[in-house]
Amino acid sequence: MSLREEVTGLLQGLLRIDTVNPPGNETVAAELLRDYLARDGIDCEFFAREPHRANLVARIPGGNGPSLAFLSHTDTVLADPAEWDRDPWSGDVVDGEVWGRGALDMKGQVAASAVAFASLRREGFVPSGDLLLIVVADEEVGDGWGLSWLVDAHPDAVRCDYAVNEGGGERLDLGGKPVYLCATAEKMSAPFKLRVHGRSGHASMPGIADNALVKAARYVEALGAYQPAPELIPEARGFLEAVLGETPPVEEALARAGELHPLLPALVQPLLALTLSPTMIDASHQVNVIPALCEVTVDCRLLPEQTPADAEPLIRAALGAGDYDLEWVSATGGTRSDLRTPLWDAIESFVSEIEPDARLAPIACPGFTDSHYLRTAFGTVAYGFFPIKEMDAVDATKLVHSANERIAVNDLELGVEMLRATARSIQS
């Protein structure tokens, strides 16, 4: 059986297991992977706070060289079959694409990681440092069943120098110059609540009250219109150098990017500053009562290593004075890895091999990934990269967490080769 057939069949099996989180039930997927690995005599360990939420770790022992992990997760977001053209858990192969919830995020990379790992072992590969396969639960929700728990409860099981995870790999065609994105950092998810105060009263006599919902409108508008001062963080500078061949003045970055590709401004803008997106509002729960309190929830994403304490003065200045409170709900992520490392060189070399004219460009992932936990716990150099060459980058991005999710078999096979090449480069 070819590696192409092997990874396709394994992905089909994973997609046919419903691991929507919640409740997850990732142990069923872990058991499938355990049985697959056992065919090559590979033992694995399960680590679980609850029996049905297992994390899997397998290891090819090495010497004193650098350790490398293939990191992935088996849980998925929900899927409404009514929105799909095929059963979301069918694993059907149609026109060279494998359909199912999680095909892109990220059971495709789970399957490719397992096949790359098993095939290296099968061939007798002896790494200079340990090669790990880490397949975790609970990435999509993050309630403490997955890697956030593992790094504290079983640190020696998942400690590694380098890791390849999700978050990048999209291919952009920029006027005939291909560029692959590599997520070397991620923004911090730091939502906050804006509580606007007023005075309640009977809705039939609005003049006797002070409507907090009406007062909140101008703050919502201010948040939506806020344009923070841009700055060129290392990831933005590296990205612009890769796609433009130079680093323009920060004030020209968006315009210059837009001239090259219509998708680029959407990628560049989150790299230049924090973002604010009001997403939820709660006021009166009775139609005839004017609310004395209106609570607006804002999705805030901070630049890597920026903190809520750094951002709050900027946000308050944008809101202006008023009768409101601002409360940070949480702060997760916001870590980065160096751009020039042996792992970068390995991925860059692979990209050059598959497309000699292609460039590798760093990017800060606007969302959250499990790479954060490895960076924080162990100082791991963790990148998000899984090459998506066959499928258009815009189409692939739209399919993640959406209906009709699917992955090209050609990209699955390419992902296996990337992981195998990366291990050989880092650990030979």
> What spatial distance separates the first Cα and last Cα of the chain, rounded to whole Å?
26
In this structure, the answer to whether residues 203 and 294 fall within a common structural domain is yes
The Cα-based distances of 114 to 81, 84, 134, 413, 417 in angstroms read 28, 28, 9, 12, 12
In this structure, the answer to whether residues 197 and 277 fall within a common structural domain is yes
Distance CA 152, CA 267 (A): 34
In this structure, the answer to whether residues 327 and 350 fall within a common structural domain is no
The mean pLDDT value for 371-391 works out to 98
Q: What is the pLDDT of residue 126?
A: 96
Contact 15, 89 (CB under 8 A): yes
pLDDT band at 93 (very low <50, low <70, confident <90, very high): very high
Q: What is the pLDDT of residue 110?
A: 98
Q: What is the pLDDT of residue 231?
A: 93
In 3D space, the residue among 6, 31, 17 whose CA is nearest the CA of residue 103 turns out to be 17
For residue 263, being part of any structural domain is answered with yes
Among 288, 313, 333, which residue terminates a domain?
Answer: 333
For residue 179, being part of any structural domain is answered with no
Tell me: the pLDDT tens digits for 223-246? 999 999 999 999 999 999 999 999
In this structure, the answer to whether residues 55 and 89 fall within a common structural domain is yes
Q: What is the pLDDT of residue 367?
A: 83
Distance CA 133, CA 150 (A): 14
DSSP strand pairing (324-328 vs 192-197): antiparallel
Q: What is the pLDDT of residue 329?
A: 97
pLDDT band at 261 (very low <50, low <70, confident <90, very high): confident
For residue 316, pLDDT beyond 80? yes
Tell me: the pLDDT tens digits for 13-51? 999 999 999 999 999 999 999 999 999 999 999 999 999
The mean pLDDT value for 301-327 works out to 96
- Average pLDDT of the chain is 96
For residue 375, being part of any structural domain is answered with yes
- pTM for this entry: 0.93
Distance CA 3, CA 254 (A): 41
Distance CA 242, CA 254 (A): 15
For residue 263, pLDDT beyond 80? no
In this structure, the answer to whether residues 167 and 90 fall within a common structural domain is yes
For residue 410, being part of any structural domain is answered with yes
For residue 180, being part of any structural domain is answered with no
* Number of domains forming the structure of the chain: 2
Q: What is the pLDDT of residue 190?
A: 96
For residue 147, pLDDT beyond 80? yes
Contact 40, 121 (CB under 8 A): yes
Neighbours of 176 (CB within 10 A): 6
Q: Which domain holds residue 245?
A: 186-333
In this structure, the answer to whether residues 243 and 165 fall within a common structural domain is no
Q: What is the pLDDT of residue 62?
A: 97
Q: Tokens 């230049």 correspond to what residue?
A: 272
Distance CA 386, CA 411 (A): 9
Q: Which one-letter DSSP state was computed for residue 65?
A: S
Among 333, 352, 376, which residue terminates a domain?
Answer: 333
Among 287, 318, 333, which residue terminates a domain?
Answer: 333
The percent of residues above 90 in pLDDT, for the chain, comes to 94
For residue 235, the domain's CATH number is 3.30.70.360
The mean pLDDT value for 55-72 works out to 98
Buried b or exposed e, range 106-122, using 16+ CB within 10 angstroms: bbbbbbbbbbbbbbbbe
For residue 178, being part of any structural domain is answered with no
In this structure, the answer to whether residues 157 and 192 fall within a common structural domain is no
